[in-house]
Amino acid sequence: MTAGQAPSAVVFDLGNVLIRWDPHPAVAAGMGEEEAARFLSAEDFDFAAWNHRQDEGRTWEVAEAEVARTHPHWHGHATAYRRHFEHSLTGALEQNVSLLRALHAAGVPVFALTNWSSELFPHARERFEFLGLFDDIVVSGDEGLAKPDPEVFQLLRQRIGHPLQECVFVDDSPANVEAARVAGLDAILFDDTTDLGAELSRRGLPVA
């Protein structure tokens, strides 16, 4: 973007940017609080890496069969996560959702790029009506590509019809933000200290 030019579109991550996600309540719903804590902090099982494979398109049937084969003592915990997945969606980040609504109302094109299992994303669609505000949502599990893979940002460019250099991207993962910047996006790392409204306003976007 040239100096003084407002972005032509805004791209949001969903998990922990617009929708709070925590796997603990889902596992706890099936196995109890203590077992959920043990599972998610286990030294012999990397839940984040295992879950990421479903974000990349692997089916849950295959994923759970792998756990049964390689870590049978965690199989019940792994299957509990999917069975009770709705409990992992603990609510909306309302302040950020209000920014999304303001952008949409002002006619700014808004898109989402989310790492999410294709099989589980319908839970979000059914629960969070504001997802209907997006011009398009790129779901990694549908595409077989997940952030921070550089190819997913090229797919994003094709889907949104805007040069990435003209877009702002918001994500809670440092790795994803760095990959987005390499791809040409003006990327904002969102965490509990981020004033996202101020960041967007500073870029000339109508969120006041």
Q: Is residue 111 part of a domain?
A: yes
Pairing of strands 167-171, 186-189: parallel
Q: Are residues 139 and 58 in the same domain?
A: no
Whether the pLDDT of residue 13 is over 80: the answer is yes
Tell me if 9 sits within 8 A of 160, measured CB to CB.
yes
pLDDT band at 5 (very low <50, low <70, confident <90, very high): confident
Q: For 144-164, what is each residue's pLDDT tens digit?
A: 999 999 999 999 999 999 999
Q: Are residues 78 and 103 in the same domain?
A: no
Whether the pLDDT of residue 3 is over 70: the answer is no
As a whole number, the mean pLDDT across the chain is 97
Q: Which backbone phi and psi does 179 adopt, to 5 degrees?
A: -65, -40
Q: Are residues 158 and 63 in the same domain?
A: no
Structural domain that includes position 120: 9-18+93-202
Q: Are residues 114 and 190 in the same domain?
A: yes
Q: Is residue 207 part of a domain?
A: no
Q: Is residue 123 part of a domain?
A: yes
Q: Is residue 193 part of a domain?
A: yes
Q: Which residues contact 147 (CB under 8 A, 6 or more apart)?
A: 13, 113, 115, 140, 153, 171, 173, 175, 176, 179, 180
Q: For 21-68, what is each residue's pLDDT tens digit?
A: 999 999 999 999 999 999 999 999 999 999 999 999 999 999 999 999
Q: Are residues 72 and 172 in the same domain?
A: no
Pairing of strands 89-92, 19-21: antiparallel
Q: Are residues 37 and 124 in the same domain?
A: no
The domain total for the chain is 2
Q: Are residues 178 and 139 in the same domain?
A: yes
Q: Is residue 2 part of a domain?
A: no
The model's pTM: 0.95
Q: Are residues 77 and 103 in the same domain?
A: no
Q: Is residue 166 part of a domain?
A: yes
Whether the pLDDT of residue 1 is over 70: the answer is no
Q: Is residue 3 part of a domain?
A: no
**Domain end residue (candidates: 88, 113, 130):** 88
Give me the CATH number covering residue 116: 3.40.50.1000
Q: Are residues 136 and 66 in the same domain?
A: no
Q: Are residues 70 and 128 in the same domain?
A: no
Q: Are residues 106 and 141 in the same domain?
A: yes
